[in-house]
Structure 1
Amino acid sequence: MYDNYQGLPEFENVCLEDSYVLDITVQPAVLLLRLDLLLPEHPQNRAPLPGERACFRQATVTFSSVRDLHWTGQGVIKPAVGASGTADFGSVDSLTRHDTNYQLLGD
């Protein structure tokens, strides 16, 4: 079975393409993504505060029981630093599931 992330209950009402990856951590059998997550249709959405362009919430996406991880470009990834001084690694361009495997593409 093939699913784009929007069809997965864990990602209901979030927008990964307009969210920011703040950190990526790989541990034995675990992949952690710390995100500044855009919540356009989420129950926790609120009006943006002054200086914000939208409602973001920090979240951690955890992939556990990882048996095989293919990550290209690890040595060349450098964070962008925004005007506020915070660093991010871009966005998640796509997240798809095929049976028990996931494919994650991004900046």
Structure 2
Amino acid sequence: MERLNYWQFPGFENIYLEDSYVLSINDKTSIQILLEAVLTENHSLYTQPLPEEQYCYRRMSLNFPYPQTYDLVLNNISPIADPDGSVDYGNIDEFFSADGKYYLRGEWGELTIVSDPPLLFDVENYLIVKNGDNFIEINKEKISIFEWKRERKGVITLVYENTSGSPLSVQIQAEQDPEGFAAVLGYMGEIERGYTTELTGGDLTFDKLKQYYAANLNQENVQAFSVKYPSSTGDKYLISAITS
């Protein structure tokens, strides 16, 4: 099967992941990877880089909705401390699809997953969507109605209040505004009761897996933890240590 790189996925055309940073991985609703993402100049949210930075960074969430199977390997690495006090786990070196699966790899580990197409959306409190030839900013807290007609899967209608309190509506079409459509779809997943793997109910890290599932292992001999969903033994998960 043909290999597709991430920039060929809808909504990922104007993102550069090789210099983006992985901030966390969690399983709260499906598999979510929080990123400090590099936006290219053609992205609707692009702004001039800060004086001390080379790129325009924006916090984004990479989601894999409704996973059928996944194999997540988390390497035994220490998070990298940044000058602002935050930490990250390095970059995404590869992200592509082949043989009906998605593959991500980096210093942090690797993920092989079968799921619905991945979504990338802004985690700030606003959605940026296309309205005619212009882009508009919608406060998530002012959205009152979502309408996604099944016969038109590529169109979502939002009803929201503007700054003066007047109700407005806008249609977001996947073909015309793939980034806005992905953002709205991702937000719909946030507020609905979505699929959850419930492994830890939060961040997936090497240290957390060691704490909850392998407290008696000698950390010096463990290079990584592997999490397989579902397991081949009938359990929901199979968690194993990869030793040197």
Q: How does 1:23-62 map to 2 (within 5 A)?
A: 23-27=24-28, 30-41=30-41, 42-62=43-63
Partners in 1 of 2:4 and 2:104 — Cα distance?
A: 12
Distance 1:75 1:49, change over 3 A: closer
- More displaced, 42-51 or 56-65? 42-51
Paired position in structure 2 for 1:106: 106
Partners in 1 of 2:78 and 2:91 — Cα distance?
A: 13
Partners in 1 of 2:78 and 2:100 — Cα distance?
A: 30
Q: How does 1:49-88 map to 2 (within 5 A)?
A: 49-72=50-73, 74=74, 76-88=76-88
Larger radius of gyration: 2
Partners in 2 of 1:14 and 1:24 — Cα distance?
A: 19
Q: Normalised by the size of structure 2, how large is the TM-score?
A: 0.40
Other structure's SS at 2:93 match: strand
Deviation at 1:75, TM superposition (A): 5.7
Other structure's SS at 2:70 match: coil
Partners in 1 of 2:27 and 2:33 — Cα distance?
A: 9
Aligned residue pairs, count: 105
- Give 4+ residue runs of structure 1 displaced > 6 Å after superposition: none
Other structure's SS at 1:10 match: coil
Distance 1:71 1:57, change over 3 A: same
Paired position in structure 2 for 1:8: 9
Partners in 1 of 2:89 and 2:13 — Cα distance?
A: 23
Structure 1 unmatched runs, 5+: none
Deviation at 1:9, TM superposition (A): 1.6
Deviation at 1:99, TM superposition (A): 4.8
Other structure's SS at 1:6 match: helix
Paired position in structure 2 for 1:22: 23
Partners in 2 of 1:59 and 1:26 — Cα distance?
A: 16
Distance 1:90 1:43, change over 3 A: same
Counterpart code for 2:18:
E
